[in-house]
Amino acid sequence: MRWHKIYGLSLRHFYLIRSSLPRILDLIYWPSIQIFLWGFISKFFTLSSDYYNNTVGIILSAAILYDFLFRSSISYNMMFLEEIWSRNFTNLFIAPIKLSEIITALTITAIFRTLIGLVPAAILAIPLFGVSIFELGLPLLFLLISLYIFGVTLGLLVTSGLLRFGPSFENIAWASLFFLAPLGCIYYPIEILPEWLQIISKVLPLVHIFEEMRNILINEVINYYSILKSAMISFLYFIMGIIIFYLSHSGARERGTLINIGE
């Protein structure tokens, strides 16, 4: 792993973000809208029924964490798509960089893109709705790491699809997270799902992350085992994502699609 190459590749994306104010505003806009929307919906529930007490805090925290996952995955995909859109793919893949360096550069850079969007939204939630995600304390960091690993994994799987099927796979990039969201039990406890779906959803790290978030906020108890379990599951998916990415790259070399992927 050569860090100057990883830095070089990350620099390309930093320059891109820095060069355009609309691009930065776009990164901030969607997470903020998400916070506004869920904030007002849950405030309405709280005001309308005693049953929904403390809903604002839980729903908004879930919205912020889900958006963190969404943004990290989309950031990863976007950076890869930027290479396709700018028809820079051939230049990138003939440069003396290892696939592991490309994956590392995208993983590191995606966190900056994600935080640019999410930090303002998380801060906005404090004065607007009196909800601070930071109240989760140290476990928040572990939950975010777990979410980030899974987000990057989804990014890797989508980029593998882009390598395998070309830019037509782009739509899947946008849809991938919406597909997993119902199974992730982001806004509701796992018991809501039918039993057979519960079995499937437990294979995903999301359910463990969001269940633990609710556990911390409602019961004020931290279950580190649950956090560790979610991180381990995320990591397993990450390894699988890397293997699939390597296989897709090899398949793309076999089919000759690397040379004309942007055309």
The reply on whether position 202 binds other proteins by CB under 8 A is no
Radius of gyration of the chain, Cα coordinates, nearest whole angstrom: 19
Q: Is 76 exposed, middle or buried (0-12, 13-18, 19+ CB in 10 A)?
A: buried
Q: Which stretch binds other proteins (CB under 8 A): 42-50, 53-61, 87-95, 239-247?
A: 87-95
The reply on whether position 116 binds other proteins by CB under 8 A is no
> Given the complex with other proteins, which of 28 and 258 has the nearer CB atom?
258
Q: Which stretch binds other proteins (CB under 8 A): 2-10, 160-168, 224-232, 238-246?
A: 2-10
The reply on whether position 100 binds other proteins by CB under 8 A is no
- Cβ of residue 13: shortest distance to other proteins, in angstroms? 9
| Sheet strands (E) in the chain | none
| Sheet strands (E) in 146-199 | none
**216-255: contacts with other proteins (CB under 8 A):** 250, 253-255
Q: Which residues contact 72 (CB under 8 A, 6 or more apart)?
A: 110, 111, 114, 147, 148, 151, 152, 155
Inter-CA distances, 259 with 49, 207, 248, 253, 263, Å: 59, 40, 14, 9, 9
- Site map (CB under 8 A) of other proteins, residues 14-53, x = contact: -xx--xx---------------------------------
Q: Which of 25, 33, 94, 126 binds other proteins (CB under 8 A)?
A: 94
- Cβ of residue 86: shortest distance to other proteins, in angstroms? 5
* DSSP state at residue 168: G
**To 10 degrees, the CA torsion angle through 56, 59, 65, 70?**
-130
Separation of alpha carbons 182 and 168, rounded Å: 25
Separation of alpha carbons 24 and 105, rounded Å: 20
Q: Which stretch binds other proteins (CB under 8 A): 30-38, 44-52, 92-100, 191-199?
A: 92-100
Pull the structure tokens for residue 105: 């550069």
Q: Which of 66, 70, 93, 129 binds other proteins (CB under 8 A)?
A: 93
- Site map (CB under 8 A) of other proteins, residues 63-82, x = contact: -------------------x
> Given the complex with other proteins, which of 216 and 252 has the nearer CB atom?
252
State the residues that interact with other proteins by CB under 8 A: 2, 4-5, 7-9, 11-12, 15-16, 19-20, 82, 86-91, 93-98, 250, 253-256, 258-259, 263
